[in-house]
Amino acid sequence: MGKLVYILNGPNLNLLGRREPEIYGHQTLADVEAQCAALAKAGGLEARLLQSNWEGQIIDWIHEARDTAAGIIINPGALTHTSVAILDALNAFEGPVLEVHISNIHKREPFRHHSYTSMRADGVIAGFGVEGYGLAMRRMVSLLGGK
């Protein structure tokens, strides 16, 4: 087994592919998981996709990742724009952190333009649809020196 990468997803992302396809597309989180797992495996890594609607659960997973994961890909959903607590948790994680947004948050309402997570992220992807997760995983392979 290669090094583990957590793909953490915040509130409402369980609805991916089922609501608002004009913004978020038709693919589901299960599709994202399959794509990322294949890319991770090809690069000598292992992917674990997790989603919660609860801020505290996401923070607990980031803490857990300190002992179990080499890198984190995170789409905190709307918590991106509100959560100092998620930023603090990410600051306690030592490996690479990549932030993904399905939509281009800078093209949307002003309240989506600021991201607390970006103050810690080593890279940010926005507006590439769910393909952004795959791009982030490719970058993770480069950063973590997989195959």
110 touches ligand CA2 by CB under 6 A = no
Furthest-apart CA atoms within the chain: distance in Å: 43
Dist CA 116 CA 99 (whole Å): 11
> Which residue stretch of 10-18, 31-39, 57-65, 86-94 sits at the interface with ligand CA2 (rule: CB under 6 A)?
10-18
98 touches ligand CA2 by CB under 6 A = no
Whichever of 101 and 120 has its CB closer to ligand CA2, that residue is 101
80 touches ligand CA2 by CB under 6 A = yes
Backbone phi, psi, residue 50, to 5°: -130, 145
In the shown chain, the binding pattern of residues 23 to 52 toward ligand CA2, with x for contact by CB under 6 A and - for none, equals -x----------------------------
42 to 14, 33, 36, 63, 94: CA distances (angstroms): 26, 14, 10, 27, 24
